[in-house]
Each structure stands twice: as C-alpha cells, then as structure tokens.
Amino acid sequence: MIPTPGQTVGPFFGYALPFDDDNRLVPLGAPGAVRLGGRVLDGDGDPVPDAVLELWQTDPEGRVVQQPGSLLREGYGFTGWGRTSTDREGRWSFTTVRPGSSFFAITVLARGLLHRLFTRAYLPDAADDAFLLALPADRRSTLLTTEGEGGYVFDVRLQGDGETVFLTFPRG
C-alpha cells in the first residue's frame, strides 16, 4: 500500500502536542539523570522557535522499553519516549538517562518543514560506530553529541553549513 503523505506540523500545535513533563523521561534530579539538549537552526543559522523534537531511546541497559505512561508521567518508571518544543532561541532539552545503546533516536517537526525528519544523536564515545564511519567524514560530527551543560549537546541544523544528517529507512 502507498503511504499517506506527510504535511507540516504548522505553527499551531502549541496547545495540542505539548503535555505536562513531556520532556522529562525521568524527574529532574533522579539518580543518573542527564540532560540531552541543543538548538534547532535554519539555513541562515537562525533559531527555529517553532520546532518539535521527539526522543525515543533504550533504557540504561540497552533494552527497548514497551511500557505505557509517557503522556501521564507518574514520576517513576521509564518509557523511553518524550517530546519537547523549541523556545524563542530555538533551544530544547530533555531530562533523561544515558541509553545503553549508542544513540538517541530523534524525530524533528517544524513549521516550514513539510515532512518529519529522522536522525540519530550518538553518544560522544560512539564515534567508531559503523554507521557513522560509513558517512562522509565531514558529516559524521553532525550526529555526535558532545559533553556539556550537564549531559549531552546536540544541535539540529536543518540546512546549510553543518547540515545534520537526516535518515531514511529501507521501507520509508
């Protein structure tokens, strides 16, 4: 069957997609809590203040979590999924735990972006990952988080210098 086309998330998702503690996969200050955050920038290097990022990751042991509760967080347990919106400076962040696998899977949505984008934010010590090594050398670093700001920093550049590597999958 032919997939239904995507369309932009538009500018008016603000009262629909965000929810309480959407970007807190674990509570602030929980044991092992780290920050994953950065900015979303456009082709001029200007912040994108109306983007949505979704995070999907394994637990610290590398297991894929299949537990409900992301939309109504109870302060314990871990669902592996979260959502956040950029602020006026294009900044976003999640409070989460270091995944046992080598990367965070990320979906990017924005006004002006006609279809969702997929990418991976690799942990700083995953630079020898086979997928990264297969990329052109000058693009590899766009998928690597750096250490800082209490965790991992990952900027999404939609276009231009340092444009983030976005992914497609065989059946995409």
Partner 1 sequence: MTALTQAEVSDEIAALADSYAADGVVETQPRLDYAPYRSSLLRHPTKAPVQADPEELEVWAPVFGERDVDPLEADLTIQHAGEPIGERMVVTGRVLDGDGRPVRRQLVEVWQANAGGRYVHQRDQHPAPLDPNFTGMGRCLTDADGWYRFTTIKPGPYPWRNHRNAWRPAHIHFSLFGTEFTQRLITQMYFPGDPLFGLDPIYQSILDPAARERLVATYDHDLTVPEWSTGYRWDIVLTGTHRTPLEDEVES
* Cα–Cα distance for residue pair 23/149, rounded to 1 Å: 16
Please give the distance of CA 60 from its chain centroid, rounded to a whole number: 17
The stretch among 28-36, 43-51, 84-92, 144-152 that binds partner 1 (CB under 8 A) is 43-51
42 binds, among partner 1, Fe ion, none (CB under 5 to 8 A by kind): partner 1
The stretch among 31-39, 73-81, 89-97, 145-153 that binds partner 1 (CB under 8 A) is 73-81
Q: Give me 161's structure tokens.
A: 């210098």
Beta strands in 64-131, from DSSP E residues, in sequence order: 81-85, 91-97, 103-110, 117-122
Please give the distance of CA 1 from its chain centroid, rounded to a whole number: 29
- HEC letters along 143-157: HECEEECCEEECCEE
10 binds Fe ion (CB under 5 A): yes
11 binds Fe ion (CB under 5 A): no
Residues forming contacts to Fe ion in the complex (CB under 5 A) are: 10
Residues forming contacts to partner 1 in the complex (CB under 8 A) are: 1-17, 42-44, 46, 48, 54, 56-58, 64-72, 79-81, 101, 103, 105, 107, 109-118, 120, 131, 135, 139, 158-160, 163-172
